[in-house]
């Protein structure tokens, strides 16, 4: 396993890239300030563009690390970020990353999150050399689980009252794909 940090990746319709301070207004307007988008997330909606700018500034410092992975989801035809996809947890001892994502509601149902996640799966298995990729969602947010299923992650179970988000303590459904699944 060899970490490379947040590399620019492309799909047919998307560019996945590092965020910059120039993305602050788009991030704030497109998803970070929307309580509907953040309903099942662990961070509250941003109250100002300045809060978004500060977060991106922190990420820009973290981009110096080879094991930091935080991408803007940028549709090529739009040219500005509509969401993010990132590693929110990792365990090098088992070669695992845990992926989290969010996208502005204007772009829900267009397949962008699935397309971005599929590209990360190939990056992490083929380039980084990981063994396991996992993700989870609040059971009250089944759309997130559909993204995981479309990407080939298998449902591994629901942990009761084992997680928390902006709705409080919740049940969490866990999905994963391992290298042998991917190679098959």
Domain around 61: 9-183
Q: Specify the CATH number for the domain of residue 46.
A: 3.40.630.30
Q: Crossing angle, helix 112-122 and helix 142-150, to 10 degrees?
A: 50
61 token code pair: 């410092």
pLDDT greater than 90 at residue 1: no
Domain membership of residue 30 (yes or no) is yes
The span from the CA of 131 to the CA of 143, in Å, is 26
Residue 1 lies in a domain: no
The mean predicted confidence, pLDDT, of the chain is 97
3 within some domain: no
How far apart are alpha carbons 44 and 71 in whole angstroms?
19
The total domain count for the chain is: 1
Tokens of 137: 């969602």
Decide if 4 is inside a domain.
Answer: no
- pLDDT, tens digit, for every residue of 87-141? 999 999 999 999 999 999 999 999 999 999 999 999 999 999 999 999 999 999 9
pLDDT of residue 114: 98
Strands (E), 24-124: 70-75, 83-91, 96-103
- Report the distance separating Cα 85 and Cα 104, nearest Å: 12
């Amino acid at each position: 396993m060899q970490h490379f940090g947040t590399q620019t990746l492309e799909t047919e319709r998307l560019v996945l890239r590092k965020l910059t301070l120039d993305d602050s207004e788009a991030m704030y307007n497109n998803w970070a300030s929307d309580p509907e988008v953040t309903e099942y997330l662990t961070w509250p909606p941003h109250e100002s563009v300045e809060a978004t700018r500060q977060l991106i500034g922190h990420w820009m410092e973290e981009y110096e690390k080879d094991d930091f992975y935080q991408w803007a989801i940028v549709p090529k035809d739009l040219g500005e970020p509509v969401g993010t996809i990132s590693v929110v947890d990792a365990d090098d001892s088992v070669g695992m990353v845990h992926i989290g994502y969010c996208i502005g509601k204007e772009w829900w149902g267009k397949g962008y999150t699935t397309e971005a996640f599929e590209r990360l799966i190939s990056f992490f298995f083929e380039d980084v050399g990981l063994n396991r990729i996992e993700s989870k969602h609040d059971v009250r947010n089944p759309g997130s689980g559909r993204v995981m299923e479309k990407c080939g992650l298998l449902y591994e179970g629901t942990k009761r009252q084992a997680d928390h988000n902006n709705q409080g303590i919740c049940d969490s459904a866990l999905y994963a794909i391992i290298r042998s699944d991917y190679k098959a």
